[in-house]
Chains A and B, each alone.
Chain A
Amino acid sequence: MNYTAALTLDEALAALAAGARPVAGGSDIVVGARQGKAQLPDSIVGIHRVAGLDTLTVGGDGLVLGALVNHATIETNEAIVRGWTALADGSALVGSPSTRNVGTIGGNVMNSSPAMDTGAPLIVLEAICELRSKSGSRTVPIDELWTGPGRSVATPDELLVSITVPALPAGSGSAYIRLEYRRAMEIAVVGAAAMVTLNGDGDVADCRIALTAVAPTIVRARRAEAALAGKAISEETLAAVAAAASEEATPISDLRGSDRYRRHTVGVMARRAVEGAARRARGEHLSVPLNRADGIGAPLAGGSA
Chain B
Amino acid sequence: MSALEITLQVNGVPYPVAVDPSRSLVSVLRKELGLTGTKEGCDDCECGACMVLIDGQPVNSCSYLAAQVDGREVVTIEGLAGDGGLHPLQQNILEEGGVQCGFCTPGMLISATALLAANPTPSEEEIRIGLGGNLCRCTGYQKIVRAVKRTADELAKA
Contacts and interface: CB of A to CB of B under 8 A. Distances in A.
A48 B132 CA distance: 24
Contacts of B59: 98, 101-102
Interface in B116-155: 129-130, 132-134
Contacts, number: 86
A72 B59 CA distance: 12
B96 interface: no
B54 to A, nearest CB: 8
Interface of B: 1-2, 4, 20-22, 24, 43-46, 48, 51, 57-60, 62-65, 67-68, 70, 111, 114-115, 129-130, 132-134
Contact of B133 (A26, A48, A184): A184
A98 B48 CA distance: 9
B133 A185 contact: yes
25 contacts: A5-B67, A25-B64, A26-B63, A26-B64, A30-B24, A31-B44, A33-B22, A34-B43, A34-B62, A34-B63, A35-B45, A44-B21, A46-B65, A46-B68, A48-B68, A95-B133, A96-B133, A97-B111, A97-B130, A97-B132, A97-B133, A98-B57, A99-B45, A99-B133, A102-B57
B114 A97 contact: yes
B45 A27 contact: yes
Contacts of B115: 97
Given A3-B21, A26-B68, 13 more contacts: A27-B45, A30-B64, A31-B63, A40-B22, A44-B65, A72-B57, A97-B130, A98-B57, A98-B60, A98-B133, A101-B59, A102-B60, A185-B132
A2 interface: yes
B22 A1 contact: yes
Contacts of A35: 44-45
A64 interface: no
A215 interface: no
Given A48-B68, A97-B114, A101-B57, A184 B132 contact: yes
Interface centre among B4, B24, B45, B65 (most CB of A within 10 A): B45
B58 to A, nearest CB: 4
A126 to B, nearest CB: 30
Interface in A1-30: 1-3, 5, 23, 25-27, 30
B64 A1 contact: no
A102 B68 CA distance: 12
A282 interface: no
B129 A98 contact: no
A256 interface: no
Please list the 8 inter-chain residue pairs (A to B) with the smallest Cβ-Cβ separation, ordered nearest first: A96-B133, A184-B132, A3-B21, A34-B44, A98-B58, A31-B45, A101-B57, A35-B44
